[in-house]
Amino acid sequence: MLASGFLIAGCGGGGGGGAPAGAGPGVSRTPDHRFVDPAQCQQCHPMQYQEWEGSVMHYGAASPVFNAFELTINKLSLGGVAANGASANFCIGCHAPPAPSQGETQAFVDALTARPSVESLSEVSKQGVSCDVCHSATGPDLRDSLLGDGIANRALVLDPDAPKQGPLANPAANDFHEGSFNPYLTSSEFCGSCHDVRLPKPDVLTGEPFQRLENLFSEWQSGPYNTVNNPHGRVVSCQDCHMSLYPQQPPGTYPQAPAAVDPDTGAPLAPRRHALHAFTAVSTPLVDDPRFPNGDTPDRDGFGYPLGQEQRRRQLLEATCEVSLRGTPRSLGAAAAVIPIAVTVTNVGAGHRVPSGFSQERQVWLEVVVRDDGGVIYESGVLHDTAHPETGETAPDGLLDDEDLEDRHFAIDLDTFDTHVSEGPDADQRGRGVNLGLASFQNRFVRVLADGTQEPVLNPMLADHMDNSRSLEMLTPRVIPYDVPVPGRGLVGDVKVSLRLRYRAFPPEFLRFLAQREPGLVSEATVDRNRIVDMAAEARTIRVTDN
């Protein structure tokens, strides 16, 4: 997660007033005076602060979607992830790491009085994963991880009273805090302490004693980027993609910049390797809130990198996958009964599968449209504008980002978060020997019925198995066939095939469920901000011949 001198190289002699390490006048900390407010760090580390301020790390605790989802889980499980629950502080421990140790999290009493976690947090904990969280991490917590490996579920030892931990040797002396070189902060294992998530209940199909909800680190660990067998010929860490100048430059390309400035004079320290604290990834805040600036702006920073989180996200996603129509014919006889199409999708740029993270909610799918001069012959993955009166959209609003895919329809019980699933008009039929229907790479929560039948659910509490097999493996092409029937009218002119690989952070139906349960947190405006990004596109014209 970190590879810079953020908080480490010091404040150049000003601001601390000769105070002992870890102290300082006016320092805002959590109730027991431990974690420092990131605004204090800004005085000496303005560049790092500006980058972090608009990031999803900052947004983690304040996210209305997170708060609505966690509150829903607590209400339905009678406090299962609350401070006094069976899985106490399971969610907030990563989203606001200082909060559990400071006693800020709420005990569950009943569903009527339960409130969002953010309401009980100190101002420091509301800052999410802030400066002092990462730079107080002294190492992995081997005792608190399910496999004793220091991975998943925030298996971190956090000691904010220790010298500030950093990745730069020989940290500059200062009178605000001590600094200590710790190579752990440059390791992928550091990121893996939070970016694997394991639910503490058995997976009935894999036999593991836990369910793998998120696998970003595990996928990287077992994949080619943890070896030299990748296009870069060396190990590529999490930080090398998410804190470097990638994808504008190769992974692991870090600029030079001062680790700190003197807060009194503004004089910078000597430039050193700088890791970008924007933490570029595939999520962006779904709120319009000045606390999280640079959400969507065309401006660029001093390194020529986009300042806007949306622009960074698009760059990253556009570098992740390639699509091609190789294997699709360039000509077809006019008497053909079927138009054969082969789409190849390859994850060429991610160090983990795609989608990853909360991959049972992240949507990645193929939009395929086949037409001739007579009109559209076939389409899959296409969205259609409809009204959603349940969240206040009484008429179609002209937007497609907020529309559901049509492969399956979920009827969601608002009281239980259980689902009834029915097949939609764009259902994937390849399992039945028919090469038609939506090609989706979204993983699934799966419930296993008594007769062994498997069905998808939206609620992870109801899942018996996490199906993480649908997402795209690293550097492994996947071919998706389509056998499109020629319409009864025959073909009129040449056939044109267009395709897009599309990404969206959440299914709109999931956000609308949260909006109906917790309208004070999630609304139709939230759904509308859940924007689609086109990761890759391709087109081909198939010439229709007389023979």
In this predicted structure, the answer to whether residue 19 has a pLDDT above a threshold of 80 is: no
Q: State the pLDDT confidence band at 30, using cuts at 50, 70 and 90.
A: low
Helix (H, G, I), strand (E, B), or coil: what is residue 445? strand
Beta bridge partners of 370: 378, 497
In this predicted structure, the answer to whether residue 28 has a pLDDT above a threshold of 70 is: no
In angstroms and rounded to an integer, the radius of gyration of the C-alpha atoms of the chain is 25
Q: What does the pLDDT read at residue 32?
A: 60
In this predicted structure, the answer to whether residue 39 has a pLDDT above a threshold of 80 is: yes
Share of the chain above pLDDT 70, in %: 94
Q: State the pLDDT confidence band at 275, using cuts at 50, 70 and 90.
A: very high
In this predicted structure, the answer to whether residue 33 has a pLDDT above a threshold of 60 is: no
pLDDT in tens, 92-127: 999 999 999 899 999 999 999 999 999 999 999 999
Domain limits, the chain: 61-128, 320-545
Q: State the pLDDT confidence band at 22, using cuts at 50, 70 and 90.
A: very low
Q: What does the pLDDT read at residue 144?
A: 85
Q: What does the pLDDT read at residue 350?
A: 98
In this predicted structure, the answer to whether residue 26 has a pLDDT above a threshold of 50 is: no
Distance CA 467, CA 463 (A): 10
In this predicted structure, the answer to whether residue 23 has a pLDDT above a threshold of 50 is: no
In this predicted structure, the answer to whether residue 455 has a pLDDT above a threshold of 60 is: yes
Least confident range of 143-147, 334-338, 406-410, 493-497: 143-147
Distance CA 35, CA 194 (A): 19
In this predicted structure, the answer to whether residue 376 has a pLDDT above a threshold of 70 is: yes
Q: What does the pLDDT read at residue 176?
A: 85
In this predicted structure, the answer to whether residue 508 has a pLDDT above a threshold of 50 is: yes
Least confident range of 30-39, 156-165, 451-460: 30-39
- Share the mean pLDDT of the chain: 93
Distance CA 158, CA 35 (A): 10
CA 110 to chain centroid, in Å, comes to 31
Helix (H, G, I), strand (E, B), or coil: what is residue 216? helix
CA torsion 162-163-167-170 (nearest 10°) is -150
Beta bridge partners of 410: 421
Closest CA to 48 of 61, 56, 62, 38: 38
pLDDT in tens, 229-261: 999 999 999 999 999 999 999 999 999 999 999
Distance CA 292, CA 277 (A): 14
CA angle 184, 189, 194 (to 5 degrees): 110
CA distances from 418 to 421, 475, 529 (A): 10, 36, 26
pLDDT in tens, 137-194: 999 999 989 999 999 999 999 999 999 999 999 888 888 899 999 999 999 999 999 9
**Mean pLDDT value of segment 65-80:** 98
Q: State the pLDDT confidence band at 215, using cuts at 50, 70 and 90.
A: very high
